[in-house]
Structures are given as C-alpha cells and as structure tokens.
C-alpha cells in the first residue's frame, strides 16, 4: 500500500484552510495518507513565553536541553493532538505519533554546535504500515530517536522526504504559504527536473525555508515518482494536486 505523504506547515493551517477537509475526503475515497507536520512558529512562541532565546544556524534551530523540552511538548502535545482531533471531528480516522514511537525515525546529532538537532539515519516504516492497514491517517511529529535513547529535533521537511523515500510513496506533497518554487524574478516555476531543482539551490535562487523542501523532494525522488510544492492557502489545493490539477511546482524525474 503506497501512501501519499503530505507535509503540513503550521503557517498553512489558518481558519479558512481546507487541508483537513481535503484529507478526510481523500481518506473516505480510500486513499492511504500520511501527514507529517511542523510547528516552528508555535515552538518559537512558547520558547519566548518561557524566556528562552531562539537561535538558528544555517536555517536549523539550535536545540539545547531546555529548548528540546519545549519542542517535544509543543510538537507532540499541542500541534499533533490538535491535528488529530481536527481530522477526527470532520469524520476522519487519525492516529498521532512521533518519530520516536516504534523507532520510526532513527537519528543522530547533526552537529554538536546545534545541540539536540538530529539528522535522519534510518526510517522504520512499520508503524506507518500498521496504521494504514487499520484505516488510520498517521499524523507524525518530526522527532528522532538517537542510538543512546536521546530525543532529537528533526527538520519536518527533511523527515517528510525521508519517510516518502522509505515508503516508496505514490507522491510527496508540501503545503506551504507561497505559490511554489519561484525563479529569480519571482515567477512560479510549474515543473522542474531534479537537475534544475539542484541548480536553483546551488545558484541561491532557492533560499531560506524553501531549501529543505526542495532537498526533501530530491531525496524522495529516489523511489517516489513525483513531488509537489503547492500553496496550501488555496481552497482545496490538496484535492486539486492529487487530481492532477492546481498550481504550485512539480518536481519529477525525466523519462528515460
């Protein structure tokens, strides 16, 4: 059962967002779905409430022990359960878990300077497969489990790409708060080959938070036929993307 992996960013889930309605509609059609979510803005807000400074190095959150405690609490306790509750309130079936559960995301410290920030070593898709078989949407908080039993903060975009690759997914879809990948003049690029996407990163045209999304798409394409980065603010963007319409950027290997 090859799933559709959907990465949801906190910035795309506004009051008028239709993503959760789309997920439930797709589940009722029998589509196997996996949701990976972030929560960076909410984490920063809660750190601020606790008087804990937020620092980023090369786009990654520097995660000391104090920060890690807040990351785990917000991702697993707030964001994850809110998403599960919202899906279920719409008539869907969802089960929340983190990358720690079932050693779903095995990770190691990426760089000592970043503290408890992890890079993915291995994905164990068995927990996902079990939940899909039982008719649930797995809703995954991007935490990793280290070799010494430590909890690690993993970039949600990276986690989504790795999970898609390990699951040989039907497709990987990123819901963002921008139209898609833009060129140097700010115009939408509707289709990219892996080589073109890599070139945009190398030239600096793709920058900031779009880098891990494009890199995750490239990672997924080792086993996944197509990856998409779409504007989650558009009504029913997810339904349209899966139906083959809609806007955004599609990254796909060239045939042959």
144, 154 contact by CB (below 8 A): yes
Candidates 78, 12, 64, 20; CA nearest to 233 is 12
Nearest Cα to 228, choosing from 215, 241, 245, 237? 241
Catalytic annotation on 10? yes
Q: Which of 17, 22, 157, 231 is catalytic?
A: 157
Which one is catalytic: 99, 115, 118, 213?
213
Cα–Cα distances (Å) from 157 to 3, 4, 66, 94, 174, in that order, read: 17, 15, 23, 20, 8
C-beta atoms surrounding 134 within 10 Å? 9
Collect all residues with Cβ–Cβ distance below 8 Å to 56 and sequence separation of at least 6.
62
Cβ atoms 189, 249 nearer than 8 A: yes
Cβ neighbours, 10 Å, residue 55: 13
Backbone φ and ψ of 146, nearest 5° = -85, 165
Active site includes 157?
Answer: yes
**Which residues, at least 6 apart from 212, have a Cβ–Cβ distance to it below 8 Å?**
59, 155, 157, 158
Instruction: Considering the candidates 9, 40, 144, 161, report the single residue annotated as catalytic.
Output: 40
Candidates 9, 10, 161, 248; catalytic one? 10
Pick from 167, 251, 253: nearest CA to 213: 251
SS (H, E, C) 96-117: EEECCHHHCEEEEECCHHHECE
213 classed as catalytic = yes
Catalytic residue numbers read 7, 10, 40, 157, 213
């Amino acid at each position: 059962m090859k799933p559709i992996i959907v990465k949801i960013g906190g910035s795309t889930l506004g009051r008028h967002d239709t993503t959760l309605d789309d997920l439930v509609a797709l589940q009722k059609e029998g589509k196997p779905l996996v949701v990976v979510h972030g929560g960076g803005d909410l984490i920063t807000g809660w750190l601020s409430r606790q008087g804990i400074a937020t620092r980023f190095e090369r786009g990654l959150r520097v995660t000391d022990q104090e920060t890690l405690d807040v990351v785990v609490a917000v991702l697993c306790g707030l964001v994850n359960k809110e998403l599960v509750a919202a899906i279920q309130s719409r008539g869907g079936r969802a089960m929340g878990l983190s990358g720690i559960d079932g050693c779903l995301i095995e990770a190691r410290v990426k760089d000592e300077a970043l503290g408890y920030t992890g890079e993915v070593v291995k994905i164990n898709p068995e927990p996902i497969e079990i939940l899909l078989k039982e008719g649930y949407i797995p809703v995954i908080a991007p935490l990793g489990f280290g070799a010494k039993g430590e909890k690690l903060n993993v970039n949600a975009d990276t986690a989504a790409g790795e999970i898609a690759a390990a699951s040989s997914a039907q497709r990987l879809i990123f819901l963002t708060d921008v139209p898609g990948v833009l060129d140097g003049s700010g115009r939408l690029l509707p289709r990219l080959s892996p080589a073109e996407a890599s070139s945009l990163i190398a030239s600096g045209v793709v920058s900031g938070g779009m880098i891990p999304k494009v890199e995750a798409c490239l990672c997924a394409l080792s086993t996944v036929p197509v990856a998409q980065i779409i504007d989650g603010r558009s009504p029913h963007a997810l339904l349209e993307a899966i139906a083959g319409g809609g806007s955004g950027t599609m990254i796909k290997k060239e045939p042959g």
